[in-house]
DNA sequence: AGCACGCCGACT
DNA sequence: GTCGGCGTGCTC
């Protein structure tokens, strides 16, 4: 055997750990693998699943080489998906192995799903006929294979009846292939009647989907303008051409309501993919996506890393939603990586939002993305009338937070037996507690942000790191009793105020820390839709997806919240959030009203919301961004340093800051002065890097990391490159 | 990211 | 005297 043939028997395998390159493994004599094969390989003391890659094998000490232990009986990860993994790794400056790990998130799915036993009618008749047996035979008369429990359930008998018949030879067992998790969607099942603008937009998308070439279309239209119906036409076109389709949704929008709409259009549900899918289902979906049995997946951002082999369209709904951004391990924005996956795959992408991200708007304006605008709501869903309440001129009563103007409208709404929604994006009772005697403020002992009082639970809670302590009676600084004062409102405190004003109204608070979790929340939302509450007070989560048909008043308690936090996207985010919240009203055809309590009624965000002139807002925002060289006109990257202790993280961040060479086009800002999250027990600091070109930024960051202090101990460094354009 | 190896405090 | 804490280092 010559050296060449020895070499040719080692292949590169991407293993799910943070290695910069694939590892090399020997292929045993009678095994055959190719790029894309999923294999089991020994790694240190354990065995892991990896993907055979197509790079050149590393020069590695031949004595270290170990053999592949098994090739899974599983469809290959295709070349396009492999290129996608490489691209994401390179763009996000993450180890390719960690990106591959996201693709291999269903370890049990690499082995084929077992065939299952089923029952099939034989010629034989039972010895005695009973009513129950008759029903069973009737059900099974179709000659198809039934599962025992399925047949018993369908016939309305206990499974012992079926078992008895089987014992008599009335049924035989046959092996059947695993059942598809969802039925095949029918593109012509429930075609919607589209109005002029919708039909035009749908036609554009349909052509693009039929053409099967890369292109990005931004569908942009107010809530209720029929965006979903329009992009369903593109989905239908892609299905007709025999391609798989992925619909990405922010996790929270993946609700029954969406699944029902999909069902109305395609006669079946899409396969779902999200973080709390039961493990068995997870495996089935993963496997069936790889095999092509599943044609349409609706999923959260991680669905982008499913092993599609024949993807022909991606839809990103609510494309502006920050939930598309993953901020641990591999930092990526699924909206942008969707564009990349489509570019590599050579198929179209649809981005949909009532309030597009500034990035997408600019991409559309500059002609990289096509844009389809849906200007109006359906006829019976008038837009709410929107106005600001100037809190300087109509201040709340002492100790309160609701202006008399808002309270008056709430009373009117109550008298009309309609519902009001008060929105405040702050959990708990009060965001800050201080001692009236000595001025002591309650801060978090671990991450130094203020502790939020949760009066209902009798606790002080850090919303940054989750630290909780009991709310004391006395000041820990000066010992004075009963002189602690709550500063500012949270939803609990607003609820208190509402109950004081409207003691007979049915008031409910909705927030993510509500007792009873997601299940309870879903029930409450349901109850509200049925009219079982008069006044709803809620945080962010009421802004999303849910329809309350009798909701005719929306009050934003603090419209200024979030405008002054130093985030370069603060105005954009506030605009998007306020648009969504006020959009909760007026979906019924009834006259409805949205009121924003603000100290800055002339702020561009407020003016845009009130006038409905979002174009003006975007124009202004785009100009500002361009001036400040912020995305999408300049790059922004975060270098996130995390460590077990705060000083450790801080000192490493400062070391990196010092290592940054002066550069005309790229600046390193920070470390951020604001206390950063304590995440999974780790303190994180963020250095902001600002520059012009992506390639320069990436090179700069790599150099910076190489020149900076050596990473050791528990210190970790990750990079978060802000999205721009991928064309 | 796992996982083992290795070196210092409270216990069957 | 051992069980177990998590610091350090390695995995083709």
Q: Is the pLDDT of residue A1 over 60?
A: no
Q: Which of A693, A708, A700 is nearest to A663 (CA)?
A: A700
Q: Is the pLDDT of residue A449 over 70?
A: yes
Asked if residue A329 keeps its beta carbon closer than 7 A to nucleic acid strand B, the reply is: yes
Query: What would the pLDDT profile of A675-701 be if each residue is shown by its tens digit?
Result: 556 666 677 888 888 888 888 888 889
* For residue A358, pLDDT beyond 90: yes
Distance CA A458, CA A219 (A): 46
Give per-residue pLDDT as tens, A583-632.
Answer: 887 666 678 999 999 999 999 999 999 998 899 999 999 999 999 888 88
Q: At what angle do helices A570-582 and A614-628 cross, to 10 degrees?
A: 160
User: In this prediction, what percent of chain A has a pLDDT beyond 70?
Assistant: 95
By percentage, how much of chain A surpasses pLDDT 90?
62
Both tokens assigned to A256: 């029954």
Strands, DSSP E only, in A432-547?
A: 432-435, 452-454, 459-461, 468-470, 484-487, 507-510, 535-538
CA distance A479 to A438: 9
pLDDT at residue number A725: 59
Task: Give the pLDDT confidence of A299-331 residue by residue, as tens digits.
Answer: 999 999 999 999 999 999 999 999 999 988 899
Query: Separation of CA A721 and C1' C5 in angstroms?
Result: 37
Is any atom of strand B within 7 angstroms of residue A670's beta carbon? no
pLDDT of A650 > 90? The answer is no
Q: Dump pLDDT digits (tens) for A226-276.
A: 899 999 999 999 999 999 999 999 987 778 889 999 999 999 999 999 988
pTM above 0.95, yes or no: no
Distance A714 CA to C6 C1' (A): 11
Model pLDDT, residue A98? 97
Q: Across residues A543-548, what is the average pLDDT? A: 76
A179 token code pair: 């059942």
| Bases of chain C with protein Cβ within 7 A | 7-12
Q: CA A644, C1' B7: Å apart?
A: 20
Check residue A3 and give its pLDDT: 42
Do A388 and A601 form a contact (C-beta atoms < 8 A)? yes
Tell me the two tokens of residue A654: 């400062």
- Quickly state the pLDDT bin for A7 (edges 50, 70, 90): very low
To 10 degrees, the CA torsion angle through A351, A355, A359, A365? 80
- Residues of chain A (56-75) having a beta carbon less than 7 angstroms from strand C: 58, 60, 64-66
For residue A723, give the DSSP letter: P
Q: Tell me if A487 is assigned to a ligand binding site.
A: no
- Which candidate, A327, A343, A286, places its Cα nearest to that of A94? A327
CA of A48: nucleotide with nearest C1': B2
What does the DSSP 8-state code read for residue A430?
B
- Is A478 annotated as belonging to a binding site? yes
Q: Picking from A180-184, A444-448, A530-534, A719-723, which range would have the lowest pLDDT averaged per residue?
A: A444-448
A17 touches strand C (CB under 7 A): yes
Question: Cβ(A51)–Cβ(A77) under 8 Å?
Answer: yes
User: C-alpha distances in angstroms, A708 versus A39, A383, A658, A689, A691?
Assistant: 37, 54, 8, 14, 19
CA-CA distances (angstroms) from residue A33 to A37, A72, A92? 6, 10, 29
Distance, angstroms, CA A92 to C1' B4? 31
- E runs forming strands in A359-481: 370-374, 385-390, 419-423, 432-435, 452-454, 459-461, 468-470
Q: For position A545, what pLDDT does the model report?
A: 63
- The pLDDT score that the predictor gives to residue A263 is 97
When the pLDDT of each residue in chain A is averaged and rounded to a whole number, the result is 90
Q: Which of the pair, A333 or A543, is modelled with greater confidence?
A: A333
Q: Which residue reads 């999303």 in tokens?
A: A544
> Which nucleotide is nearest to A16 if distance is taken from CA to C1'?
B1
CB of A10 closer than 8 Å to CB of A56: no
Q: Cβ(A324)–Cβ(A335) under 8 Å?
A: yes
Q: What are phi and psi of A312, to 5 degrees?
A: -125, -5
| H or E, element range at A66 | strand A66-67
pLDDT-derived band at A400 (thresholds 50, 70, 90) equals very high
Closest-approach nucleotide to residue A10, Cα vs C1': C12
Residue A714: half-sphere exposure toward Cβ, Cα within 13 Å = 14
The predicted-structure confidence for A53-69, as pLDDT tens digits, reads as follows 999 888 888 889 999 99
CA dihedral A362, A303, A299, A190 (to 10 degrees): 90
Cβ proximity of A87 and A46 under 8 Å:
no
- pLDDT score for A452: 93
Q: What is the per-residue pLDDT for A721?
A: 86
Report the C-alpha gap between A404 and A185 in whole angstroms: 53
**Cβ of A45 < 7 Å from strand B?**
yes
**Helix, strand, or coil (residue A69):** coil
A44 CB contact with strand C at below 7 Å: yes
Closest among A559, A549, A554, A650 to A598, alpha carbons compared: A559
- What three-state secondary structure class fits A236? helix
A428 touches strand B (CB under 7 A): no
Residues A473-529 pLDDT 10s: 999 989 899 899 999 999 999 999 999 999 999 999 998 887 777 788 888 888 998
**Residue A410 CA to nucleotide C11 C1', Å?**
64
A375 strand B contact, CB < 7 Å = no
Q: How far: A333 CA to C4 C1' (Å)?
A: 41
User: What is the mean predicted confidence (pLDDT) over A548-564?
Assistant: 93
Q: For the CA atoms of chain A, what is the radius of gyration?
A: 29
User: Strand order in A535-538's β-sheet?
Assistant: A385-390, A593-598, A551-556, A419-423, A535-538, A507-510
A550 three-state secondary structure? coil
- Closest to A252 measured CA to CA, from A333, A314, A318: A318
> Which has the closest alpha carbon to A273: A243, A231, A245, A238?
A245
* Spatial distance from the CA of A241 to the C1' of C6 (Å): 56
pLDDT band at A384 (very low <50, low <70, confident <90, very high): confident
What is the per-residue pLDDT across A143-169, written as a single tens digit (0 to 9) for each? Answer: 888 988 889 999 999 999 999 999 998
The H or E element that residue A450 is part of is none
Q: Flag whether pLDDT at A6 surpasses 70.
A: no
Measured between its terminal Cα atoms, the distance across chain A in Å is 48
Nucleic strand B near CB of residue A712 (< 7 Å) = no
- Distance in angstroms: CA A23, C1' C2: 40
């Amino acid at each position: 055997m010559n050296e060449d043939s020895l070499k040719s028997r080692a292949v590169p395998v991407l293993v799910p750990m943070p290695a910069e390159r694939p590892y090399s493994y020997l292929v045993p004599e009678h095994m055959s693998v190719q790029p894309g094969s999923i294999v089991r390989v020994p790694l240190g003391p354990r065995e892991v699943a990896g993907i055979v890659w197509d790079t050149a094998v590393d020069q590695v000490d031949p004595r270290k080489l170990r053999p592949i232990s098994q090739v899974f009986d599983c469809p290959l990860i295709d070349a396009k998906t492999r290129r996608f993994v490489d691209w994401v790794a390179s763009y996000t400056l993450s180890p390719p192995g960690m990106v591959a790990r996201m693709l291999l998130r269903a370890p049990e799915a690499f082995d084929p799903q077992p065939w299952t036993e089923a029952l099939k009618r034989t010629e034989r008749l039972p010895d005695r006929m009973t009513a129950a047996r008759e029903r069973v035979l009737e059900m099974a008369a179709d000659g198809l294979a039934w599962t025992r429990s399925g047949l018993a359930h369908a016939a309305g008998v206990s499974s012992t009846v079926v078992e008895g018949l089987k014992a008599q030879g009335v049924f035989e067992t046959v092996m059947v292939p695993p059942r598809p998790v969802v039925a095949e969607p029918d593109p012509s099942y429930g075609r919607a009647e589209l109005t002029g603008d919708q039909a035009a937009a749908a036609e554009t998308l349909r052509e693009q989907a039929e053409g099967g070439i890369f292109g990005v279309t931004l569908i942009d239209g107010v809530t209720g303008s029929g965006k979903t119906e329009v992009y369903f036409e593109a989905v239908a076109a892609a299905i007709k051409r025999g391609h798989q389709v992925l619909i990405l949704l922010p996790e929270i929008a993946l609700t029954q309501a969406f699944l029902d709409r999909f069902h109305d259009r395609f006669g079946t549900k899409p396969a779902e993919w999200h973080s709390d899918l039961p493990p068995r289902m997870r495996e089935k979906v993963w496997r069936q996506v790889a095999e092509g049995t599943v044609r349409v997946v609706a999923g959260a951002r991680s669905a982008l890393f499913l092993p599609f082999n024949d993807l022909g369209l991606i839809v990103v709904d609510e494309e502006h939603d920050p939930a598309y951004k993953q901020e641990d391990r591999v930092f990526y924005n699924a909206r942008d990586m969707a564009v990349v996956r489509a570019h590599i795959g050579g198929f179209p992408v649809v981005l949909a939002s009532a309030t597009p991200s500034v990035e997408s708007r600019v991409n559309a304006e500059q002609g990289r993305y096509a844009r389809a605008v849906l200007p109006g709501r359906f006829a019976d869903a008038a837009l709410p009338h929107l106005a600001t309440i100037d809190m300087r001129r109509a201040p709340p009563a002492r100790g309160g937070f609701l202006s008399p103007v808002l309270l008056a409208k709430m009373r009117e709404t109550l008298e009309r037996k309609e519902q009001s929604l008060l929105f405040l994006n702050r959990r708990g009772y009060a965001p800050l507690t201080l001692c009236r005697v000595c001025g002591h403020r309650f801060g978090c002992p671990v991450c130094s942000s203020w502790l939020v009082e949760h009066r209902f639970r009798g606790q002080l809670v850090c919303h940054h790191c989750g630290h909780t302590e009991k709310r004391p009676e006395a000041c820990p600084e000066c010992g004075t009793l009963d002189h602690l004062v709550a500063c500012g409102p949270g939803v609990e405190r607003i609820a208190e105020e509402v109950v004081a004003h409207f003691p007979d109204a049915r008031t409910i608070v909705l927030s993510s820390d509500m007792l009873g979790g997601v299940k309870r929340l879903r029930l409450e939302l349901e109850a509200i839709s049925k009219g079982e509450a008069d006044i709803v007070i809620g945080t962010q989560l009421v802004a999303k997806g849910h329809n309350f048909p009798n909701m005719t008043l929306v009050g934003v308690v603090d419209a200024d919240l979030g405008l002054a936090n130093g985030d370069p996207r603060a105005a954009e985010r506030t605009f998007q959030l306020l648009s969504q919240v006020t959009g909760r009203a007026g979906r019924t055809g009834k006259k409805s009203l949205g009121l924003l309590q603000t100290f800055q009624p002339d702020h561009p965000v407020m003016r845009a919301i009130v006038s409905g002139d979002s174009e003006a807002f975007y124009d202004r925002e785009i100009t500002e961004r361009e001036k400040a060289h912020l995305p999408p006109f300049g790059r922004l990257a975060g270098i996130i340093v995390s460590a077990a202790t705060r000083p450790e993280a801080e000192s490493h961040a400062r070391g990196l800051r010092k290592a940054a060479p002066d550069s005309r086009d790229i600046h390193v800002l920070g470390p951020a002065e604001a206390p950063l999250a304590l995440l999974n027990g780790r303190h994180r600091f963020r250095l902001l890097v600002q520059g012009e070109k992506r390639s320069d930024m990436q090179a700069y960051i790599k150099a910076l990391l190489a020149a900076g202090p050596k990473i050791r101990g528990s210190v970790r460094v990750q990079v978060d490159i802000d999205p721009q354009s991928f064309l």
